């Protein structure tokens, strides 16, 4: 059992990173240094109000080796969430994805090597490519890498760097590959919050392609408990898949949002498909459940979705400033 007293959480002002920081404060004694560049996706309000003696925000870039040399000696481990995370943005401009996802992970690995610290690397199921809708298979830790988009190829690259630094330099690192998250603080460029906030704004929701693409949904709080489990109980050098058996196609999710917000089932627009759009993701998380004893708590998607809709209704001041620019970007792409 690894029991860290203080960790760096990179990307701790983003969606999943900030939910993890809340989870750590609420469920452990561990203190947190959030290292975040505050890109368009990072918002310090996501961690506002947390106790100052437990959580400190350092605004900076994970590619800044000198800054890492200041911060890393003072902690027991790094939990690495920082990334450029949106597929559509990676198609419009891949360059920041190379910088943060590849170079940034490299700099963190080198800092862990210099200072003898542990790393937990947060990655995605998208590194495995996609499955056919009628394929009974799900992704496992043994599935070959086959990424489709600039985003997922940079995440795959970062995973391979972590494995190589473990094997060649002995860096103590674990990797997790998680399925699609939903919950509070998710940027409104992503599918679920985009549609919820569209409806609140009187804009019709937008569905890509034929709407039959399947995503395997997990509540972000379950992702947080899984990452903490892997950090503290996982074996360095190992990869663990995180998922909560939440496969659903996009049109069913959109119908659930429309119904939950009192809209007719056909009150949306079909729009241009995403180039290279992955068909289906599905996670088999047996290893994490049997070896480390993790279980998801939020297994009722309808309930989690209703809470998420309520959160966006109650926190309009949080998302409203980004809405116009986000939709303008999509309009330019015909989406």
Which helix H or strand E contains 302, and what residues bound it? helix 301-314
Cβ proximity to ligand TDX: between 118 and 194 the closer is: 194
**Catalytic entry in 36, 84, 125, 278:** 125
Distance CA 8, CA 81 (A): 10
**Catalytic entry in 36, 126, 278, 284:** 126
The C-alpha angle with vertex 224 and arms to 281 and 311, in degrees rounded to 5, equals: 85
CA distance between the termini of the chain = 47
Cβ proximity to ligand NAD: between 103 and 263 the closer is: 103
Site string for ligand NAD, 177-206 (x = CB under 6 A): -x-xx-----x-------------------
Cβ proximity to ligand NAD: between 86 and 204 the closer is: 86
User: For this structure, is 151 an active site residue?
Assistant: yes
Distance CA 151, CA 220 (A): 20
| Residue 90 sits in the site that holds ligand NAD (CB under 6 A) | no
Q: Which of 43, 46, 87, 308 binds ligand TDX (CB under 6 A)?
A: 87
Token duo for residue 94 = 């891949």
108 within 8 A of 119, measured Cβ to Cβ: yes
Q: Which of 82, 111, 282, 305 binds ligand NAD (CB under 6 A)?
A: 82
Q: What string of DSSP letters covers 78-98?
A: EEE------HHHHHH--HHHI
* Contacts (CB under 6 A) with ligand TDX, residues 201-240: 206-208, 213, 215
Q: Closest approach of Cβ 158 to ligand NAD, in Å?
A: 8
Distance CA 214, CA 252 (A): 10
Q: Which stretch binds ligand TDX (CB under 6 A): 111-119, 167-175, 189-197, 289-297?
A: 189-197
Backbone angles phi, psi at 231, to 5 degrees: -60, -45
**Catalytic entry in 151, 182, 240, 312:** 151
Strand, coil or helix: 116:
coil
Q: Counting runs of H as helices and runs of E as strands, what totals does the chain give?
A: 12, 13
Q: Closest approach of Cβ 64 to ligand TDX, in Å?
A: 23
Q: Which of 108, 122, 196, 231 binds ligand NAD (CB under 6 A)?
A: 122
| Residue 250 sits in the site that holds ligand TDX (CB under 6 A) | yes
Q: Name the residue whose CB lies closest to ligand TDX.
A: 124
Which one of ligand NAD, ligand TDX, none is in contact with 219 (Cβ closer than 5 to 8 A by kind)? none
Q: Closest approach of Cβ 122 to ligand NAD, in Å?
A: 5
Q: Which of 165, 191, 268, 312 binds ligand TDX (CB under 6 A)?
A: 191
Q: What 8-state DSSP symbol labels residue 63?
A: T
User: For this structure, is 189 an active site residue?
Assistant: no
Sign of CA dihedral 261, 265, 269, 274: positive
Distance CA 146, CA 16 (A): 24
User: For this structure, is 52 an active site residue?
Assistant: no
Token duo for residue 265 = 């089932």
Q: Closest approach of Cβ 207 to ligand TDX, in Å?
A: 5
Q: How many CA atoms lie within 13 A of 72 on its CB side?
A: 24
* Contacts (CB under 6 A) with ligand TDX, residues 270-289: 274
Distance CA 254, CA 322 (A): 21
Catalytically active residues are 125-126, 151
Per CB under 6 A, residues contacting ligand NAD are: 10-11, 13-17, 35-39, 41-42, 61-63, 81-83, 85, 100, 104, 122, 124, 155, 178, 180-181, 187
């Amino acid at each position: 059992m690894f029991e860290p007293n203080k960790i760096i959480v990179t990307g701790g002002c983003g969606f999943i990173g900030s939910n993890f920081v809340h989870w750590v404060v609420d469920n452990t004694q561990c203190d947190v240094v959030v290292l975040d560049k505050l890109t368009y996706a990072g918002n310090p309000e996501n961690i506002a109000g947390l106790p100052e003696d437990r959580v400190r925000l350092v605004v900076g870039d994970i590619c800044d080796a000198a800054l890492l040399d200041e911060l890393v000696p003072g902690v027991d481990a790094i939990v690495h969430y920082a990334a450029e995370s949106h597929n559509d943005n990676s198609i419009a401009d891949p360059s920041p994805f190379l910088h943060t996802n590849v170079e940034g992970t490299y700099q963190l690995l080198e800092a862990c090597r210099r200072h003898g610290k542990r790393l937990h690397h947060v990655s995605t199921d998208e590194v495995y490519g996609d499955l056919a809708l009628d394929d009974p298979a799900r992704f496992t830790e043994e599935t070959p890498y086959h990424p489709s988009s600039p985003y997922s190829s940079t995440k795959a690259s970062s995973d391979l760097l972590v494995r190589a630094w473990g094997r060649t330099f002995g860096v103590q690192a674990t990797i997790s590959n998680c399925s699609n998250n939903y919950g509070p603080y998710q940027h409104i460029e992503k599918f679920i919050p985009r549609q919820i906030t569209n409806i609140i704004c009187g804009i019709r929701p937008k569905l890509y392609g034929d709407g039959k693409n399947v995503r395997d949904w997990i509540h972000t709080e379950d992702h947080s408990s899984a990452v903490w489990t892997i950090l503290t109980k996982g074996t360095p050098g190992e990869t663990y898949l995180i998922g909560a058996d939440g496969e659903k196609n996009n049109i069913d999710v959109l119908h659930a949002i429309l119904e939950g917000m009192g809209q007719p089932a056909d009150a949306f627009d079909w729009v241009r498909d995403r180039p290279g759009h992955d068909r289906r993701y599905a996670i088999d998380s047996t290893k994490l459940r049997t070896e480390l004893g993790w279980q998801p708590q939020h297994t009722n998607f309808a309930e989690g979705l209703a809470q998420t809709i309520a959160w966006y209704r109650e926190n309009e001041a949080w998302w409203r400033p980004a809405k116009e620019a986000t939709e303008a970007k999509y309009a330019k792409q015909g989406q």
